[in-house]
Amino acid sequence: MKNTKLLRLLATFSLSDWQKFGLYLRSPFFNQTDHLIVLSDELEALYRAGEWPEPDVEKQDLYRSVFPGQPYDEMDFNRQCSRLLQLAADFLAHQQWQNDGIMANYYTLQAFMERKLDKHFRFTLRKTRDQLEKEPYRNIQFHHQSYLLAEIAEWQVSGRKAQALGPEVQQTADNFDQYLVAQKLQHLCTIAALNNLQPGTYQLQHSQEIVSMSESLQHLPIVAIYRNLFMMITGEETSPYFQQLRQLAIQHEDILAPRELKFIYLSLVNFCIGRIRYGEKTYASPLLELYETSLEKGFLIDKGQISPWTFKNVVKLGLGLQRYDWVEGFIHQYSPLLAEREKAEAMHFNLADLYYHRQDFEKAQLYLREVEFSDVRYYLHGRILLAKIYHTTQSWESLDSLLAAFRIYLMRSKKMSREEKKPYLNFIRILDKLLNSLPEKRPKIRQTIRDTPMLTDRTWLLEIAG
């Protein structure tokens, strides 16, 4: 019994979820079928025994536990599993509803209004407003729920014939504007970021109108944050918006949910990466600071792991800024969070790169020897790093042999496309020219380095070209 919808859902349960689900199933309001409780208890026992995410259990054994003494009935068993699946889904919906800010009270207010229980309504409305005001976050959800409360208060007043509408209408309209602008700005930011990856794919509908409306709402932190983010992504003079957004993220981090704060920080990181690719090196230092903060807050860790690309980018950035001690600490602290197959190679290769930058070439080569090069990326980067070491230490024969062997490997490799090989073949070709050229040929080679579109380690080649 593996890979069923029921098991895939239950595999996401924590111990606390199992305990609450057990209580949920035992409530006659939600479930009046005892054998579903038995089926859930049997599955929970497998969870506690460490059998998840794919418990090794036969359907027939489970059926006998639920219906002792009865012959196995495939159709009936599938029906019971479907019913338990629906109850588990309903349980999760109930949990979301309970944890969704003031929404439980909001639906209570709707019920009181429909039943014309004015006294109950007014008391619950005051209590709910107080609850919302005590919410730590002033994010889009806060403004949405503020609007919903204002709207239902307006509905309740409009339902009384003896009393005309008053300030409730204005409050509803104002709260709706705040929610609308904040939510639309967030959508525009997401679309604009996607358009940077796939230009022209999506339309920025009503962006000018929303930006204009947001001008008068910048006293609201959530509006100011998303307005600056949108202008940073789409504007021409982006630096002021970048700086302002950084300050806003620090100043208002306590009023944003972790998911929203992560979105802001990763947007700042991606913006810096984009500017650096366009040659704006001044963004390197802010980018490393953003990486540091994002690491501290866990924004770059997903399910206990760090992406190998993020790991490599952080190391490369830190080395470029000569933050060698910090990089060493980062490698030792975060390499254990790489996927199992990446850990050893990533640590040894990046330590080799670190010691190369520290000009401890003997130690750099020692760590390179520890890299197994099971991943073609590490092999390629390892050959480039070794070429740099041989050049710096003037080990000319070793360098010639390395370049020859590297060229043969690339030409014969079937693991890489022609486009993937080009940056490395161009590196070999240009370095070979530099090694065998007269000084008067250097200016022409430097121009070749600048003009070659697909070339790895361009900056280093320009440095040694003089």
How confident is the model at residue 218, as a pLDDT? Answer: 95
List pLDDT tens digits, range 408-445. Answer: 999 999 889 999 999 999 999 999 999 998 888 999 99
Report the C-alpha gap between 264 and 268 in whole angstroms.
Answer: 6
CB half-sphere exposure, 107, CA atoms < 13 A: 6
Hey, where are the domains in the chain? 5-98, 135-284, 300-367
Residue with tokens 């029921």: 6
Please give, one letter per residue, the 3-state secondary structure of the chain: CCCCHHHHHHCCCCHHHHHHHHHHHCCCCCCCCHHHHHHHHHHHHHHHCCCCCCCCCCHHHHHHHHCCCCCCCHHHHHHHHHHHHHHHHHHHHHHHHHCCCCHHHHHHHHHHHHCCCHHHHHHHHHHHHHHHHCCCCCCHHHHHHHHHHHHHHHHHHHCCCCCCCCHHHHHHHHHHHHHHHHHHHHHHHHHHHHHHHCCCCCCCCCHHHHHHHHHHHCCCHHHHHHHHHHHHHHCCCCHHHHHHHHHHHHHCHHHCCHHHHHHHHHHHHHHHHHHHHCCCHHHHHHHHHHHHHHHHCCCCEECCEECHHHHHHHHHHHHHCCCHHHHHHHHHHHHHHCCCCCHHHHHHHHHHHHHHHCCCHHHHHHHHHHCCCCCHHHHHHHHHHHHHHHHHCCCHHHHHHHHHHHHHHHHHCCCCCHHHHHHHHHHHHHHHHHHCCCHHHHHHHHHHHHHCCCCCCHHHHHHHHC
Report the C-alpha gap between 89 and 31 in whole angstroms.
Answer: 13
How confident is the model at residue 241, as a pLDDT? Answer: 96
How confident is the model at residue 279, as a pLDDT? Answer: 81
How confident is the model at residue 53, as a pLDDT? Answer: 58
Residue 447: both structure tokens together: 């121009």
Report the C-alpha gap between 266 and 269 in whole angstroms.
Answer: 5
Residue type, 303: K
How confident is the model at residue 87, as a pLDDT? Answer: 98
Q: Residue 53, preceding bond cis, omega within 30 degrees?
A: yes
* R_g over Cα of the chain: 31
| Residue ranges of the chain with per-residue pLDDT less than 50 | 162
- Distance in angstroms between the alpha carbons of the first and the last residue of the chain: 67
Q: Which among 207, 201, 96, 106 is positioned nearest to 149, based on CA atoms?
A: 106
